Structure 1
Amino acid sequence: MSQHAIRVLATVDAVAGYTTYIDLIRPLISGKQIVSTSMQKEVDRVSAALDLALAGTACAVVSSGDPGVYAMAGLVLEMCRRRSIAIGGSDRPEDEDRLFIEVVPGIPALCSGASLLGAPLTHDFAAISLSDLLTPWETIEKRVEAAARADFVIVIYNPKSRRRTDHLTHAQEIILRHRDPATPVGVVTGAMRDNQRVTLTTLEALDRAHVDMQTTVFVGNSTTFNYDGFMITPRGYAKKYDIAGQQC
């Protein structure tokens, strides 16, 4: 979490979030009103948070990672539009006729996970979620195919759940049509949390890696390599400069 996020949590009166995320920050929100719901109840908790805010209670809606990356910021703003709630941000805090909304940046899993692997995202990359709860699987397949064909490093969110056991294997099969089986793959679970686990494997062996809903998968591009336990995607400096560090 950023220090700014911690300061915001200290100033609000109420906090709304998924039960697991509320539990992660309980030491920071002692004594505050809590709106906690289970998975797939996002609309309910955002609606409750908006009702609290409209009644004059400062409320934070919390997500894991960054609120704008596969998280709640979009839903909050979308629901404001659907309910015709006039909103304003930090650029006009004096406008009391509008509901003040601030999207507080966080550290997304693609950044925290990448830091644990080394530097897998130094060049162009695509982030794709394999969850088909809100996006048709046919659309997800097209996106995986396009990213693989274009040689993007691919960051895979939501690779597997109890209900979705085969989606990662299907994505692996699609990517293998365009990538060497030995392509480096990083598998990061619970980045920066107590259950953190970091594994380096290959595209060919990805289906045998241990993954769950807290896992982020990093599939390298055609230039990605491993070195001394780090996963590196070069930006291209070696093609233009002498990076060996030899004295002239």
Structure 2
Amino acid sequence: MLQEVSAVAGYTTYIDLIQPLIAGKKIIQTPMKREVERVEAAIETALAGESCAIVSSGDAGIYAMAGLVFEMCQKKGITIRAPRMDAPAAGDEALLIEVIPGIPALAAGASLLGAPLTHDFAAISLSDLLTPWELIERRLDAAASADFVIAIYNPRSKRRSDHLETAQKIILRHRTPGTPVGIVTGAMRDNQRVVITTLSDLHLAEVDMQTTVFVGNSSTFEYLGHMITPRGYATKYDLDEKKAG
């Protein structure tokens, strides 16, 4: 898709990461907190007749730009159409929007840890730039009390240095201190770092905005440097190889 489009829009850091793939393209880039401006420019580019890709890290539909594109089109009354065969019919003048699936940080990070997301999980961002912190706290408490594995995005920034420790205290109301916690920074990038710790030591972990934190549920365990959440097979089948056959 990046080869086919005429223009590429994205956060400055993401544009830098894909420079080898977009040589010769029209580039629309803005810094952090300028997402609306960035999407506005991309929509205007597309309405002017140029194909434009908006790039996000991970998957465009998970804590990323796909939702904002649709929201702004709806607010502006722009007629849109999708490439799906079963999509509602729209005229040729409608704006074609296609969401290209990617690999989200929770999937990339989970693969490096082992299998922490094999059973039900919840993804919660600790960024309160767009979501009230009181709501984030309620979501953390609800997910922890329901025994979800919790994938935490945006765990710490310079402005939000204490949010992860607060989250830790909330989850400890419902989990044991020894609950395995996976810390993955820069998954699949040059700065990749993977650590497995415990919930009681989470506040000591080195994390930043490129880190995804995986808090296990009551069944999650660590085995030889891997973090595993059972799906439940052991309750129905005999998994002991010594007894197999």
Q: TM-score range by the shorter chain?
A: over 0.9
Is residue 241 from structure 1 mapped to residue 234 from structure 2 by the alignment?
no
- Structure 2: state its 5+ residue gaps: none
CA distance in 2, matches of 1:247, 1:171: 43
Task: Indicate the SS of the match to 1:178.
Answer: coil
- Residue number in structure 1 paired with 2:77: 84
- Tell me how large the CA RMSD over aligned residues is: 1.0
Choose from 89, 96, 107 the match for 2:92: 96
Shift of 1:97: 1.9
Q: Residue type of the partner of 2:244?
A: Q
- Count of aligned residue pairs for this structure pair: 241
1:32-181 maps to which residues of 2 (within 5 A)? 32-91=25-84, 95-181=91-177
Shift of 1:94: 8.1
Shift of 1:243: 1.0
- Residue number in structure 1 paired with 2:209: 213
Q: Residue type of the partner of 1:157?
A: Y
CA distance in 2, matches of 1:94, 1:174: 48
Shift of 1:247: 3.1
* Per-residue CA distance 1:182-220 (angstroms, 9 max, x = gap): 000000000000000000000000000000000000000
Q: Percent identity?
A: 68
* Per-residue CA distance 1:65-92 (angstroms, 9 max, x = gap): 0000000000000000011110001026
Q: Structure 1-normalised TM-score?
A: 0.96
Q: Residue type of the partner of 2:219?
A: T
Q: Residue type of the partner of 2:11?
A: Y
Q: Structure 2-normalised TM-score?
A: 0.97
CA distance in 2, matches of 1:149, 1:81: 36
- Residue number in structure 2 paired with 1:17: 10
- Structure 1: state its 5+ residue gaps: 1-7
Q: Residue type of the partner of 1:46?
A: V
